[in-house]
Amino acid sequence: MTPVQKRCLLVERLYGKTMTKALDWKQQGDYVFVEIGNRIVKLIEGRSGGDNPLEILEVCDFDGSFIERFTDEDLEGKPDSWTGIEGFWTLMGQTRETAIRQATGADDAIDELLDQLNDSPWSNS
């Protein structure tokens, strides 16, 4: 397997585990991160030289030592069809945005509010 294929597979697996809430994402500053074994994976929103949006993934050792960094532009082809997503920029972006919502508890808060406000907008209870 080539390095690019490994990166693509890593992004796809992170997406799958994030969508099933199998990872414990945390937010720090302008990025989210998750500890997997003795590695840390960071997802960062950035800008390319032409000021286009860019999705960045960094891998570090548990002590913070840098291992690898790549962007959606470094990936080739399309994500696996099971994701239902056309490109790696979108896949990485959805993973990062979902990770932020999980790290901040936004989804849990909205779900709780919806439960408390009841299903019907016409209900007085």
Residue whose C-alpha is closest to residue 74's, from 54, 90, 60: 54
- Quick one: average pLDDT of 27-54? 92
Determine the pLDDT at residue 122.
Answer: 64
The tens digit of pLDDT for each residue in 11-39 reads: 999 999 999 999 999 999 999 999 999 99
**Local confidence band at 79 (pLDDT 50, 70, 90 cut-offs):** confident
The residue ranges of every structural domain in the chain are: 3-117
Q: Flag whether pLDDT at 125 surpasses 60.
A: no
Whole-number average pLDDT of the chain: 91
Question: Who's near 56: CB < 8 A, 6+ residues apart?
Answer: 42, 43, 44, 45, 46, 69, 70, 71
Determine the pLDDT at residue 76.
Answer: 81
- Quick one: average pLDDT of 64-90? 89
Determine the pLDDT at residue 124.
Answer: 62
- Quick one: average pLDDT of 107-114? 90
Cα–Cα distance measured from residue 106 to residue 102, given in angstroms and rounded to the nearest whole number: 7
Q: Please report how the helices 106-117 and 88-104 are oriented relative to each other, as an axis angle in degrees rounded to 10.
A: 70
Determine the pLDDT at residue 58.
Answer: 97
